[in-house]
Structure 1
Amino acid sequence: MKVTVLGSCAAWPEPGRACSGYLVEHDGFRLVLDLGFATLPRLLRHCPNGTVDAVVVTHRHSDHCVDLNGLLRVRHYGERVLPRIPLLCPPDVASVVDTLEPRPRLAELFDVHELPGGRRVGPFQVDGIALPHHVPNAGVRLTTPGRTLAYTGDTGPDPRLAELGADADLYIMEATLQAEPAPGEPRNVLTAREAGEWARRAGARRLLLTHFWPGSDRGVSLRQAAETFPGEIIAADEDLVIDWLGRPRH
């Protein structure tokens, strides 16, 4: 299994960066997790003409799903005739993307399946778990023989984070905040320290912090997460490649 970071920003992309998006490859099968602002050009460098095999989108916020419309256009108008592929997402994702233009509709090019839920997609068992956010959000767990990747999407603190990331080889966790929120404040995103704590409770082997608020010092987030997580911690960076044969590389 190999993971390429397409984007790592929350809300909007900093110059030269993109919002949430990850390309996951295993045995020649290419699955995309989220397609936020500016992820599509980076994806097309790895998958010309949008030749991916499946897409999973955690929720309808534009920093996680807007470039799904771009992928739809590439596969509809592009140079190659491509087969329909699975799209796993909460039901409101397709509704939001389809409001951008009348045609083509997502269901014309994708087999749309609802998250949360479980489904076999190529070599991956894909399982979704509902997690708290401003809108319906599904954390995603990808399993192949011998490897497990977990991804929170966007989430507040919740005991299900330990279930989602249980014994994961790589846990991709949003770490939007650095300052501790006020007590009693409604929680729909995590601090870096909380990401480390939930990864520790899950027994994850490796933690990838992502969804950094624009302008944040990512070194601070790494140090905060290290206060609660004893394993290897990586800050997501555009074009970073993580495989299980060596250290992260660009």
Structure 2
Amino acid sequence: MKLTILGCSGSVPAPGKPASGYLITVDNDESVVMDLGPGTLAALQAIQNPADAHVVFSHLHADHCTDFPSLMVWRRFHPDAASYGRDLCFGPVDTPIHLGRLSSNEPGGVDDMSDTFAFAPWVDGQTEILGRVTITPYRVLHPIEAYALRVREPATGKVITYSGDSAYTPNLVTAARGADLLFAEACWGPSGEGMAPGMHMSGADAGRVAREAGVGHLVLIHIQPWADVEATLAAARSEFDGQISVGEPGQVYAL
């Protein structure tokens, strides 16, 4: 199982750094895209046909989903690489309405995705099968319905947990328990002091989750472009003495 970072800039894209999107691949199986923020569809095109993937969403804030209407255009109308079947799509319960409004031809209308995606909403703690991986969503702490995603390859037992967007919450620790890789947001930079509550984590929070969950490797993601990356990394190290790195677009993590 491999995870490729399509983009991981926090809250907004930055030059050369798309917003949130992650590609899960397993040999001889269809891939899974987790989130599809601004700029990630272009990054995906450099790796594979974007139509050959299931798509799942941690939540529906713009920096995690707004390349989806463009993906719909690709899947329906590309002259050589359109989709000729339906893939799976999982996300918060309002996903078809929220994203359908973005790609509708009519003001207030909702574009029906069912011609190209079979959608089902996440159920907290209920494992879904997507080819050769399973994904279990865990409800986390954010202003809207949001989930951390625990991805497991049953053939190897390897686990990748993606925090999505969340403040520190015990459910995130549960989602990351014993994971080989934890991709944890650190949007607030070194410290969340003075920041809005119930929204994001700092580097220290991400390190705390990694320590409490006993993960193998912590990857800090979703750091805002104006944050101090080195100070954020140092804050994470103050809480977790295991392997830590900072995610960048194009990086590939193989298990």
Shift of 1:106: 1.9
Query: 1 CA distance for matches of 2:237 and 2:176?
Result: 17
* Matches of 2:241 and 2:252, distance apart in 1: 22
What is the aligned partner in structure 2 of residue 124 from structure 1?
Answer: 133
Structure 2 residues not aligned, in runs of 5+: 106-110
Aligned pair partner of 1:210 in 212, 216, 221: 221
Separation in 2 of the partners of 1:185 and 1:16? 28
Asked if 1:226 is matched to 2:230, the reply is no
1:168 equivalenced with 2:168 (yes/no) = no
1: CA distance, partners of 2:192 / 2:5: 28
Q: Which letter maps to 1:228?
A: E
Worse-superposed segment, 79-88 or 100-109: 100-109
CA distance in 2, matches of 1:16, 1:128: 30
Q: What is the CA–CA distance in structure 2 between the aligned matches of 1:61 and 1:37, rounded to whole Å?
A: 11
Equivalent in the alignment of 2:108: none
* Matched position secondary structure for 2:236: helix
Q: Deviations over 1:198-238 (max 9, x none)?
A: 11101110111101112223222211111111111111101
Q: Assess if the C-alpha contact under 8 Å between 2:188 and 2:195 holds in 1.
A: no
Q: Deviations over 1:42-77 (max 9, x none)?
A: 0011113x1333111111101001111111111011
* 1:248 counterpart residue number: none
**Aligned residue runs from structure 1 range 72-221, under 5 A:** 72-78=72-78, 79-82=80-83, 83-102=85-104, 105-116=112-123, 117-145=126-154, 146-182=157-193, 186-221=197-232
> How far apart in 2 are the matches of 1:225 and 1:184?
17
What CA distance in whole angstroms lies between the structure 1 residues aligned with 2:91 and 2:207?
26
Q: Alignment partner of 2:166: what SS?
A: coil
Aligned-partner residue type, residue 27 of structure 1: D
What is the SS of the residue equivalent to 1:177?
coil
Task: Look up the match of 2:8.
Answer: 8
CA distance in 2, matches of 1:90, 1:185: 23
Structure 1: gaps of 5 or more residues: 245-250
Distance 1:185 1:76, change over 3 A: closer
Q: Does 1:32 align with 2:45?
A: no
Matched residue, 2:66: 66
Check conservation: 2:190, 2:204, Cα contact below 8 A: no
Query: Runs ≥4 in structure 1, deviation > 6 angstroms?
Result: none
How far does residue 182 in structure 1 lie from its aligned partner after superposition? 4.1
For 2:249, give the aligned amino acid: E
* 8 Å Cα contact 1:65-1:93 kept in structure 2: no
Q: Cα RMSD between the aligned structures?
A: 1.6
Taking structure 2 as the reference length, what is the TM-score of the superposition? 0.90
Q: Distance in 2 between matches of 1:127 and 1:230?
A: 27
SS at match of 1:111: strand
TM-score (norm 1): 0.92
Q: Percent identity?
A: 28
Q: Partners of 1:236 and 1:185 in 2: how far apart?
A: 24
> Do the aligned residues in 2 keep the contact of 1:14 with 1:214 (CA within 8 Å)?
yes
Aligned residues: 243
Matching residue of 2:248: 237
Q: Would you say the 8 A contact 1:5–1:239 is kept in 2?
A: yes
Aligned pair in 2 of structure 1 residues 107, 229: CA closer, same or farther (>3 Å)? same
Q: In structure 2, what is the equivalent of residue 44 of structure 1?
A: 45
Indicate how the Cα distance of structure 1 residues 13 and 168 shifts in structure 2: closer, same or farther if over 3 A, else same. Answer: same
